[in-house]
Chains A and B, each alone.
Chain A
Amino acid sequence: MDKRLQVPITEEEARSLRAGEKLLLNGVIYTARDAAHKRLTEQQEKGEMLPVDMENIAIYYAGPAPAKPGQVIGSCGPTTSGRMDLYAPKLMAWGQTMMIGKGLRNEKVIEAMQKYGAVYVTAIGGAGALLSKCVTEMACTAYEDLGAEAIYKLTVKDFPVIVTIDCLGNNLYETGKQEYAEKKV
């Protein structure tokens, strides 16, 4: 049975999660992708107040499709996390405890996760229709002009993810591949 987890989580909770654990997220997460990350860091550099509280925030790297009438949100799978690697350590320093996305992270991100106590979980890339069913509320929080790239506050119910890199540096991408590889390439 997959473990239900209330989000956002504290640094302590982030440090207790382990790579390979399957979770169902319940609570509040915020979307942000390339353009929003760029704008957040630019605002911070200028000393401006950020439009969303970063303390313990769970950020979902995603840019949803538009909602059809009657839908809460359009299809909303994760985007490739690596493009946020440049910004992620800063956001963790400001208090982010969870990154939700898909794909590889660089060394600096993995080091920052250990230093600040943040966890990297992945959702199924390309399963946007399925994941849209796990969002019960959606509201634009900031940067509305960015359209799909704006920051949206999502209330999620049993949103399925897998802990992929934990605070100890355990990395399911590496261990999973090693387990099933038939030969060294």
Chain B
Amino acid sequence: MKIVNVKEIAEAVKKMCIEANYYLPEDIYGALKEGEKNEVSPVGKDILKDICVNADIAREDGIPICQDTGTAVFFVKLGQEVYIEGGLLEEAINEGVRQGYKEGYLRKSIVENPLYRKNTGDNTPAIIHYEITKGDALEILIAPKGGGSENMSKVYMLTPSQGIEGVKKAVMETVIQAGPNACLPVVVGIGIGGNFEKCALLAKHAITRNIGSSNSDPRMAQLEEELFEEINRLGIGPQGLGGKVTALAVHIETYPCHIASMPLAVNIGCHVNRHMSVKL
């Protein structure tokens, strides 16, 4: 058994909130650089260059890459041999968010009631997904998520007869409708299977996967590749102003599902696709 104090958790979360918002992950930065090289539209090429310069400025000056420092989304893997002492895990994470968003000069973008919209003032509460795992490690992944790209995401309750073609059609429809609104080039996270809520969670998790990785099932890896190529033939391009680099990656995650269903979720991640994790 391992003992982890809530103070240690809050401190780690605080640090992650700041670092995730200041330092663009290497995989995304590399993909943007690669995109800049490959883009054929002069306007698109300039945009990709500016996006990389933007990431450089944020890193050097220690300021947020994007003003939308997002909803603080966490994927927590809690080993069942871990004992949390000193308080509640959830409160520790929220305390870390509170401190990180304040000390890091990050924007507070969360409102209390969705209809009455009073800002909570400290970017809490976070959205936390827990998974109980074996062993004695506590792993926390943060993926701050902006509102612009999140608004363009969709869930489809497809049925089995719609098959792979149905999935492709829905993914393409989502990307086309998202168009210039979602701060392109995007990372497209796709969740197939599970049920209504499970597929959305899979899609969100899929955008946190490193660019360059593929689904371990070769059939799904091939579908990722096909969708990636098809999306980049649309011509939407960086910021939607025309070009070849519309998506930086397509990531699929699947889960078994009911004989009657084939749920599909598409989560759009903008080019500031922040994700980082820590193991305590």
Where the two chains meet, the residues of A that have a C-beta atom closer than 8 Å to any C-beta of B are 20, 22, 35, 62-68, 71, 74-77, 79-80, 82, 102-104, 122, 124-130, 132-133, 147-148, 160, 162, 164, 172-173, 175-183, 185
Contact = CB atoms under 8 A, between A and B. Distances in A.
B61 interface: yes
Contact of A129 (B54, B106, B172): B54
Nearest to B58: A129
Interface residues of B, number: 54
A124 B51 contact: yes
Contact of A79 (B55, B148, B272): B148
Interface of B: 40-41, 43-44, 47, 50-51, 53-55, 57-58, 61-69, 105-109, 117, 119, 121, 146-148, 151, 172, 176, 179-183, 233-237, 239-244, 270-272
A133 B57 contact: yes
Given A74-B64, A130-B54, 9 more contacts: A63-B107, A66-B106, A75-B65, A125-B239, A128-B67, A129-B61, A162-B241, A173-B240, A180-B242
A104 B180 contact: yes
Given A147-B119, A180-B243, A126 B272 contact: yes
B242 A75 contact: no
Contacts of A132: 63
A66 B66 contact: no
Given A102-B183, A185-B172, A176 B63 contact: no
A183 B240 CA distance: 16
B232 to A, nearest CB: 9
Task: Name, among A75, A126, A147, A185, the residue most crowded by chain B CB atoms within 10 Å (CB to CB).
Answer: A126
A7 B239 CA distance: 24
B233 to A, nearest CB: 4
A180 B44 CA distance: 11
B66 A128 contact: yes
Given A180-B235, A185-B176, A164 B181 contact: no
